[in-house]
Chain A
Amino acid sequence: MIAFNLIPYAVAAWIFLCGLYGIITSKHLVHTVISLAIMQTSTYILLLAIGYRWNAVAPVFADISPGAVTVDPVVQALMLTDVVVEATVVALLLAMVVKVHEKAGTLSPDDLKVMRG
């Protein structure tokens, strides 16, 4: 039973470590950025798992009675914030990758001599 209750949290950790593994073994900067995005998606699963409740409805009272039992809306609001920030941060990082390619002519982190200070 304990193992069953841990499933969503284990999935979050698994995705986080997959992303981290991707960043560490990355051979291409675009791959690094996507790995970072994957790492960030683990937070969505963690947040939604904490606020989830069996047999509850979405916290939208447009068509349900005001007393209905809902899942936690607070973590959903946090997750919404997370998604927007991820999208813009990925856009910013990819712009940096474009500039790196322009300046260094390569996208492999190992070949980036200009990055070594």
Chain B
Amino acid sequence: MSAKCRLIVFCLSAIPFAIVYLAAAKNLPPWGHYRGPYGDVISSLSVYERHTTDVVNAIDYDYRGFDTLGEEYILFASVLGVMLLLRDPNPKSGTADEGQGLSKTVKFGSAACFGLLLIFGFYICTHGQLTPGGGFQGGVIIATAFMLIYIAENLKSFKAITSHPLMEALEALGAGLYAVTGVSALLVGAPFLTNWLPLGTAGDVFSSGTIAVISASVGLEVAAGFILLSYTYLEDIISGGGKVS
């Protein structure tokens, strides 16, 4: 199909789509006048029912925890897919990335930020039940901290610190811990993913029962997953995997 023909087909379908969509959007709640009952019910209940002050995390890791479990496995499967696609059957030794052309200031700054980012990531991971944050966000921050090692040093040190098999094990552990937390509810006679742990005091770090545990396990999985992703991509670029064979 020629480019022009494609564009005509696009316009023929996009214009009716826009008209039908806007006609349908008229029946959506007007901008800024949310009317559905669910949000209000959960907002008013979650502090009392789950001792969680961040309602978004209470929904993600408890009220609809089963969906988030599935979503976590999408992430797990995608990371697995990237690693399978980009793995190098005959890895070359001796990578030529020693001098990346970065100035000493950049390298020093990256090294200085590493500890700060790591602590900030742990803070976001463990305080998801109190303030905005949680496992997904914190995990990505922790993974970013490890990428700074690559900037500050080189791929070899990045590889040494994020030791490949250990990261794979941590990722599997994070993904597994979520499911195990869900199954553990069955052992006390409650349905899957019931929040059966003691809820503690709302506003305390050790509160909200399984929400905190699941948030931490998601953080572990996301951090390890994104470190593996960045590691796989960096190795592929540096070993020249992207070249035409």
Chain A interface (Cβ within 8 Å of chain B)? 2, 4-10, 13, 17, 20-21, 24-25, 49-54, 56, 58-62, 66-67, 70-77, 80-81, 83-85, 87-89, 91-92, 95-96, 98-99, 101-103, 105
Contact = CB atoms under 8 A, between A and B. Distances in A.
Contacts of B68: 81
A100 B241 CA distance: 12
A24 B10 contact: yes
Main secondary structure of the interface of A (DSSP, over half): helix
A81 B3 CA distance: 35
A4 B31 CA distance: 8
Nearest to B135: A84
Contact of A62 (B28, B30, B131, B244): B131
Interface string B201-245: 001000000000000000000100100010011001000011111
A98 B136 CA distance: 26
B53 A88 contact: no
Contacts of A91: 78-79, 82, 229
B132 A17 contact: no
A85 B10 contact: no
B67 interface: yes
Given A49-B28, A61-B53, 8 more contacts: A7-B31, A9-B21, A24-B9, A62-B53, A70-B43, A81-B71, A88-B79, A91-B229
At the interface, is chain B mostly helix, strand, loop or mixed? helix
B39 interface: yes
Nearest to B72: A84
A86 B29 CA distance: 26
B107 to A, nearest CB: 26
A9 B82 CA distance: 34
Interface of B: 3, 6-7, 9-10, 14, 17-18, 21-22, 25-26, 28-34, 36, 38-40, 42-44, 47-48, 53-56, 58-60, 64, 67-68, 71, 74-75, 78-79, 81-82, 85-86, 130-132, 134, 136, 140, 203, 222, 225, 229, 232-233, 236, 241-245
A54 B31 CA distance: 8
Interface hub of A50, A58, A84, A101 (most chain B Cβ within 10 A)? A84
A24 B132 contact: no
A102 B81 CA distance: 17
Contacts of A77: 56, 59-60, 64
A84 B71 contact: yes
Given A6-B22, A51-B39, A72 B34 contact: yes
